[in-house]
Structure 1
Amino acid sequence: METQKEFDKVKFLKDQLKYLGFGEGEQLHKDLEKGINSKEQQFEIKTTSDKTLPGNKADFTLKFNKTESGGIFINSYHAKLTNEKNEEISHNFPVNRENSFTAKEAVNLMEGRSVKIEFHNPKSDQQETAFIQFNFEEPKTEKGNYLFQNFYQKYGVDTDKIVEKSNLIFDKPEYKENTIKSLEKGNIVKVKFQENDQIVEGKAILNPENRNLKLYDNDMNRLNTNKPLEGLEQDNKHEKNNVREQSIKR
């Protein structure tokens, strides 16, 4: 009975690491089992990710804690991005049932892109949809984390409308939905779009601050400008705020 219980515990943690985007690597699982079987109340696992821009490297330290009742949980992970100039960007990401960024979303944030979340708005005390990105201009918090730059619903970021205005071409209707979801996760997405009366293949990044897409060719050379969508009210600007540590629901 105990063997089955232990098996389920290990499987749960392995599935959790897979869900968080850390994969199912043999070494990862060996390190996990070693930590589970150790007498230490806390243990760490180090791993990496290849889901970065060329020239960048992502390292993760996963932090686990054991309870007196025998439970084992991953509490958080420390993410560090090293770019081709050997500059380091790091952030501590908490992990729980309602607040977990995947490894890829962590990479996207550290590389300067935005991620869509459900965010607790301190002004309204309500859960709202928001886009967040790191504010690299402000000093880090005492916990060593970046401040979030948030774009709430009233700021007017409508990904569907932005995609329509950007003249993207989709071979199938479901490709549009998949593209929107991927853009909102902060990914660099392969797209087709109209450029000078021609259909061009390239890549796109969602830019919530200017409510537009940044369009690139396949070599990541910028093709369009930062011109925002027309007809958006200027008074939305105050809806962009910097918030330190707020509740995030995935």
Structure 2
Amino acid sequence: MEDNLTWFDKNIVPRTKAYKDFVFEMKNSSPENFFQDGERIFTKKEKDFMKIFDYKSSKIKFTSSRAEQEKFTQNHISKEQNAILFNELKKLISEKIPAFIINNPHIENTIEGYNRDELIKLPSEALEHLLHLKEEEFKAQQENDDLNSMAFIDREINELKLIINNQTPNIMETQNEYDPAQYPKLQLKYLGFGEGEQLHKDLENGINAPEKEFEIKTTSDKTMPGNEMEFTLKFNKIENGSVFMNFYNAKLTKENGDILSHNFPVNRVNTFTAKEAVNLLEGRTVKIEFHNPKTEKIEPAFAKLNFSEPKTEKGNYNFQNFYKNYGVDTAQIVEKSKLIFDKHEWKESTIKSLEKGNIVKVKFELDDKVIEGKAVLNPQYKNLSLYDQDMNRINTNKPLEGLEQDNKHEKNNVKEQSIKR
């Protein structure tokens, strides 16, 4: 099958929605439905998808013979054979593809599976295809406001441009001019740690040090008054010269002297920004992509740290995650809270900010008056907590730190899910 596949088939087609939808259908359909009891007529594109899938699965052969595979593509296979083939497909999808993603937390060190040495050997046309693909990916993540993914993709775009330039004789750049600090600086920027001169100086000192691992420290002024936040950023160096942030520790010292800390991993999925880490440690909830153990899918979830349980063996708190089937609709919650927006576009930005766990300045109706105050989203209870300008809870006159106590009486029938991170 591989002989008939072009570079585009092997590397670009698997990124398309049509191919992904086809693979998803195989995984989530019964054999009877997928093969339509042996009567399904596969299109040429679908047959090509099967070839590509076979190649992407490391050329693992199905249990049936080549003759039976030909019959498969022509839809002349018995129900029993359909079931065998489908089970093989499902096994490959469930074991090979997720395992590749889950077991490679630093997959960002390759681009579409190619390391730097392999990329250098690709023809210019192939590199241009990859560059275009990454630029489109960046636009999509920009629309999704996914800063972490933007950082990874931006690094890939810059590296591809550097390699393309190196293949052009008129460009004086060489591989030796590759700046190992470029990518970690982007991580610092997009994760919200900033672009300060001292921060970059500490980063460069760590990169130039002989140790394979190093750490730098920084702080945040995005906490509530009286609280202090310190970050310890952990970096790794790998053999090809790349440097990346592996995880960071966030330590919150509260006004009353209590100290809360948590280690946040840095990877392609469920990475929290510095501000989101502040929000979590201050007791608020953040919307992010999480692995749902019930559906075995990556899906949006509202996550909060569970301070009532002991920490894990890794020194982290458990997460309480509320997935889409929990039924949290932020727009509906905002509507019911009678918030007032001078401009329509402010409503969308307010919803996004609330979902990031921020304390948001708002206007709302109270006793037939328009009040200027602040709001915090409570996905667990599907409501907003409203405060005045001094962060006193409206109608209760309780401060924000009393939020958890305010809601304890509402915990009946609330389903929670604790996830170790």
3-state SS of 2:244 partner: strand
**2:100 paired with 1:100:** no
Picking from 191, 195, 210, the partner of 1:39 is 210
Q: Measure, in 1, the Cα distance between the counterparts of 2:267 and 2:300.
A: 19
Picking from 167, 175, 178, the partner of 2:338 is 167
Runs of 4+ in 1 over 2 A off after TM superposition: 1-4, 224-228
Q: Which has the higher helix share?
A: 2
Q: Is the 8 A contact 1:130 1:151 kept in 2?
A: yes
**2:362 paired with 1:191:** yes
Matches within 5 A, 1:199-210: 199-210=370-381
**2:221 paired with 1:50:** yes
Q: Measure, in 2, the Cα distance between the counterparts of 1:221 and 1:209.
A: 21
Q: Is the 8 A contact 1:77 1:95 kept in 2?
A: yes
Q: Is the 8 A contact 2:270 2:290 kept in 1?
A: no
**2:202 paired with 1:26:** no
3-state SS of 1:99 partner: coil
Q: Is the 8 A contact 2:217 2:230 kept in 1?
A: yes
**2:416 paired with 1:243:** no
Query: In structure 2, do the counterparts of structure 1 residues 11 and 133 end up closer, same or farther at CA, with 3 Å as the change threshold?
Result: same
Runs of 5+ unmatched residues, structure 1 = 229-233, 246-250
Runs of 5+ unmatched residues, structure 2 = 1-173, 397-402
Give the structure 2 partner of residue 91 of structure 1. 262
Deviation track 1:189-219 (CA, whole Å, cap 9, x = no partner) reads 0000001101110000001111000000000
Picking from 129, 140, 143, the partner of 2:314 is 143
Structure 1 residue 153: Cα displacement: 1.3
Structure 1 residue 99: Cα displacement: 3.2
Give the structure 2 partner of residue 5 of structure 1. 178
Deviation track 1:150-182 (CA, whole Å, cap 9, x = no partner) reads 112122111000000000000001000000000
Matches within 5 A, 1:120-159: 120-159=291-330
Q: Measure, in 2, the Cα distance between the counterparts of 1:100 and 1:4.
A: 30
Give the structure 2 partner of residue 231 of structure 1. none
Q: Measure, in 1, the Cα distance between the counterparts of 2:176 and 2:365.
A: 59
Q: Measure, in 2, the Cα distance between the counterparts of 1:120 and 1:35.
A: 33
Give the structure 1 partner of residue 110 of structure 2. none
Deviation track 1:10-57 (CA, whole Å, cap 9, x = no partner) reads 222212101000011111000001111111111000100000000000
Give the structure 2 partner of residue 77 of structure 1. 248
Q: Measure, in 1, the Cα distance between the counterparts of 2:298 and 2:245.
A: 25
Query: In structure 2, do the counterparts of structure 1 residues 3 and 224 end up closer, same or farther at CA, with 3 Å as the change threshold?
Result: farther
3-state SS of 2:417 partner: strand
Q: Which has the higher strand share?
A: 1
Deviation track 1:82-117 (CA, whole Å, cap 9, x = no partner) reads 011111000000001223210000000000000001
Query: In structure 2, do the counterparts of structure 1 residues 24 and 37 end up closer, same or farther at CA, with 3 Å as the change threshold?
Result: same
Q: Measure, in 2, the Cα distance between the counterparts of 1:124 and 1:3.
A: 46
Structure 1 residue 3: Cα displacement: 5.1
Q: Measure, in 2, the Cα distance between the counterparts of 1:126 and 1:143.
A: 24
Matches within 5 A, 1:207-246: 207-224=378-395, 237-238=414-415, 240-245=416-421
Q: Is the 8 A contact 1:60 1:79 kept in 2?
A: yes
Deviation track 1:201-247 (CA, whole Å, cap 9, x = no partner) reads 0000001111000000000010157999xxxxx97x33x211223xx
3-state SS of 2:351 partner: helix
Q: Is the 8 A contact 1:215 1:224 kept in 2?
A: no
Q: Measure, in 2, the Cα distance between the counterparts of 1:125 and 1:16.
A: 28
3-state SS of 2:300 partner: strand
Structure 1 residue 2: Cα displacement: 4.8
